[in-house]
Structure 1
């Protein structure tokens, strides 16, 4: 594995490159861009689980931190702006096509959770991406208009506007911690929803905890997400081969619902919904059995189409 910095507009993106066994830089390899979940980082699932596994199957994989997050640059920190998140994919493509060992005609993408929605949206207008895969992919715009805004998007927008005005006048930034501090705290608070519990068990314990995977969001800069939709124009612009992997244990974050929707709407002639039975959203991040089932479908999909 090699860590690199990729020049963005006025900052750098941090990324990790994973190489196949017996890698030979004089040869040409297919490449996969691996995108992390919302509030996560490249050291959680996108790199250390799926990146490593796909590299072992002969792909060069690049797992990157979103701008304003993780080890990537950009201010203000913890910005979650879908337009900028999608632009990150283009910048990573720019970098890949400069590498002599990457076949520019064989670049695919894998997005996990919110990274899945971003990957789908990026592929619609970034035609260097030839293949699209997602694991428990979620449409962040829908989530913001629904559960993440308490099903009151207008009220949320008004609050964001007031907070941004306060910050512009020198007030303190409002950075929200999106999860309880520990699984025990979540249970003590009476939280029973499967996705919230799963997220807390993953991000707030040794199972998935990483220094840069903080699950924080700058409240004043979330308005753009409320007006964004990952699937907008997919009936016309999403034509690449598409594989969507979801678990059938459905939670509030809606990956199962979003997976069914994009498979139904995408213009892709080759598309497949893979339902991993008996497992939930966060099980697919790192638990060996469901991850193995996901990879058993994704690996031949990428091999056939890249």
Structure 2
């Protein structure tokens, strides 16, 4: 069994909280390849990035660091619930900064994995941080593209105007407007007329005992979401993303992971790149369902063992 340690380390002006997963029969006198695991938007380290993929990668022999994003979970930073892509990518860099200080981590064998929004953040980080030697994006979602489309009701200019007005109001002392990305339950979503597989299955995962965690708030600070509108997780991938890349896809849904997966697979300059579509399984099946997770790990573990 892997061993779990709770750790903190310094970020820009606050502390990051993370779970460090160590392999079975861990020997501090040896050196190990390490992987940074990045959670989805609105999630936390105790959910899929840590308890599922972090734990299983550790059991396969890797040191894994699953962290909470800045302004979210147990990590510091104010105001709370900021989802700023630039800072989320910076979080991955600080996670690597921490890993390279550990005497049992081989600094030349560091990989990165992310789920949903965390998958696209991982891609963006690897484009400019070559300490990442190989990366995996699981149902990766380009948050900038999602904000310009579904999360703004396909009216990004209108959304930006509303965000600007809200931020001005908050600067003058009004309470922060925190939105919930999901309905309170699957039933509530259906009653509101929602039918999309991603929205309803996300709600089933995050809002029930299946995946619910105290810090998995599925919340975002509305006025600060403007930072994502002009952001592209895959910018310059055609020239700068050169590391080995594994993309894991799923059924098409409103959050767009299937299409984003094929896009980065096509755009990446990586000479070694793989696309694995988990046929018949959906975005949120890949968060924790044993069979699709096992299919995914059968790709992920050999990929990292080959390239780290």
Same fold, TM exceeding 0.5? Answer: yes
Residue equivalent to 1:147: 150
- Could you tell me which residue of structure 2 aligns to residue 289 of structure 1? 291
Q: CA deviation at 1:187?
A: 2.3
Matching residue within 7, 17, 20 for 1:17: 20
SS at structure 1 position matched to 2:281: strand
1:126, CA displacement in angstroms? Answer: 0.8
The offset of 1:87, in angstroms, is 0.5
1:92 deviates by 0.7
CA distance in 2, matches of 1:122, 1:246: 20
- Measured after TM superposition, the shift of residue 287 of structure 1 is 0.3
Which of 60, 64, 67 does residue 67 from structure 2 map onto?
Answer: 64
Partner residue in 2 for 1:80: 83
TM-superposed CA distance for 1:178, in Å, is: 1.2
* Distance of 1:161 and 1:190 partners within structure 2: 29
Is contact 1:135-1:246 (8 Å) kept?
Answer: yes
Alignment of 1:1-306 (within 5 A): 1-247=4-250, 249-306=251-308
Cα displacement (A) at 1:203: 0.2
| Count of aligned positions | 305
For residues 10-61 of structure 1, the C-alpha deviation after alignment (integer angstroms, 9 at most, x for no partner) is: 1000000001000001100000000000000000100000001000000000
> Residues 53-80 of structure 1: CA distance to partner in whole angstroms, max 9, x if unpaired?
0000000000000000000000000000
Where has structure 1 moved over 6 Å in runs of 4 or more? none
Counterpart CA distance in 1 for 2:285 and 2:70 is 26
Query: 1:62 aligns to what SS in structure 2?
Result: strand
**Alpha-carbon distance in 2 for matches of 1:185, 1:151:** 23
Which digits, 9 at most, give the CA deviation of each residue in 1:105-152, with x for residues without a partner? 000000100000100000111111100101101100000011011111
Q: Give TM-score scaled by structure 1 length.
A: 0.99
TM-score w.r.t. structure 2 length?
Answer: 0.98
Instruction: Give the CA deviation at 1:183.
Output: 1.7
Partners of 2:212 and 2:199 lie apart in 1 by 15
- Partner of 1:297, secondary structure, is helix
Render the CA deviation track for 1:234-281: whole Å, top value 9, x for unaligned: 00110000000011x210100010000001010000001000000110
CA distance in 2, matches of 1:63, 1:286: 16
Unmatched segments (≥5 aa) in structure 1 = none
Q: Once the 2 structures are TM-superposed, how far is the Cα of residue 177 of structure 1 from its aligned partner?
A: 1.1
RMSD between aligned alpha carbons? 0.6
